[in-house]
Structure 1
Amino acid sequence: MADRRAVLIPGRGYDTRAPLLAYVGEALRRIGFGTHEISWQVPPDLGLDRAAPWVAEQVAPALTEPTDLLVAKSLGSFAAPIAAQRGLAAVWLTPLLHRADVAEPLARATAPFLLVGGTADDAWDGAAARRLTPHVLEIDGADHGLLVPGPLARSAEVLGRVCTAVERFLG
């Protein structure tokens, strides 16, 4: 039985079975976490101005049990206020750092968190990430899916780097 619990939060059109969350989930299980995977159907008309309360509504039921870690992709980074309020450690994969409703709660967070993003992602701000936390993995040339140009094996290597960063972050 796992001694720690992580909640995996999808993105918009990027569920927990997609590579980043699937592999990070496996890395977590290998180091002793149980995982709870949130599944959702994002309303097609959900604007970013209404995303934070919608994400909070989707995540809240998963937090009725003791939770040690949140892992979120993109749209899921609107759960940052929850992590900050509850003092939860987190891994934010391609967080929407250009949004104040994501960046401001990260700045208030008391628990450690890892930020992962790519330099070819418009939502990523490496300088802001490094101001927010010492735990940053920035992938040169990676887009919002953390894919890099060239042979697909290079993107698979990125996936491995992300998993290694998560394992190191969680010690």
Structure 2
Amino acid sequence: MDAEAPLARHAVVIPGGMHGPRAGLLMYAGEAVARWGATVELIEWSPPQGLSLEERPAWVREQVTAVAGRLPAPLLIGKSLGTFAASVAADRGLPAVWLTPLLTVPACTDALRRATAPFLLVGGTADIFWDGALARELTPHTLEVDGADHGMMVPGPLRGSAEVLGRVTTAIETFLDRVVRCPGVSPGRADLPDQSG
């Protein structure tokens, strides 16, 4: 799983079930990759009403494959529902960033176990879908935030949640810098502290 990732000239941003790829964590994740010089593809969707938990992985896979399937070795970035695309990453050997992954759902976890390319997992201890011990078992690249919920928000003044957003984006940048090869960027930039580990 720690094999060097392929050159990421493209990234696919995969939304969750509530917000699109231009909001919150995904907006910043997409911007981080764009600043590396990769072309960013945004998936927009409206999950069908009444889709059962068992049907969701196949539906997500179909949506993501339609976009990622036409790109050479893209980096996948997904949140929540979008982390069911871990099966696409596993099948194609693609690096990935999974924000608030559904670690309590076997379809997601099984796909993560099959991964051959490196991936980053980001979650919070107040998220019912997060399992920190399992995350660290699956990958050495993790960011766990104490008290953060499924939206990576923490209790108290909003500046605390803004600080969490900063930690998440730094972890993504560090992962890109140290693990994923991106065009036009030399590895080992000294300006990024280690946030994923």
TM-score normalised by L of structure 2: 0.84
Partner of residue 105, structure 1? 111
Asked if 1:17 is matched to 2:22, the reply is: yes
| Cα distance in 1 between the residues matched to 2:61 and 2:17 | 14
Deviation at 1:68, TM superposition (A): 2.4
Q: Bigger relative contact order, structure 1 or 2, given CA contacts below 8 A and separation 6+?
A: 2
Asked if 1:161 is matched to 2:172, the reply is: no
**Secondary structure of 1:49's partner?**
coil
Structure richer in helix, relative to its length: 1
| Cα distance in 1 between the residues matched to 2:173 and 2:82 | 20
| Cα distance in 2 between the residues matched to 1:67 and 1:41 | 26
> Which one of 146, 157, 165 corresponds to residue 152 of structure 2?
146
In the alignment, structure 1 segments of 5+ residues that lack a partner are none
Question: In 2, are the aligned partners of 1:117 and 1:124 still within 8 Å (CA)?
Answer: yes
Q: For this pair of structures, how many residues does the alignment match?
A: 169
| Cα distance in 2 between the residues matched to 1:60 and 1:133 | 23
Partner of residue 12, structure 2? 7
Asked if 1:72 is matched to 2:78, the reply is: yes
> Superposed, which structure 2 residues align to 1:63-142 within 5 Å?
63=68, 64-142=70-148
**Secondary structure of 1:160's partner?**
helix
Deviation at 1:167, TM superposition (A): 0.6
Partner of residue 170, structure 1? 176
| Cα distance in 2 between the residues matched to 1:161 and 1:31 | 18
| Cα distance in 2 between the residues matched to 1:163 and 1:17 | 15
Question: In 2, are the aligned partners of 1:71 and 1:92 still within 8 Å (CA)?
Answer: yes
Name the Cα RMSD after superposition.
Answer: 1.0
Q: What are the Cα deviations for residues 29-64 of structure 1, in whole angstroms up to 9, with x where unaligned?
A: 112221000000111211211001100111111121
In the alignment, structure 2 segments of 5+ residues that lack a partner are 1-7, 178-197
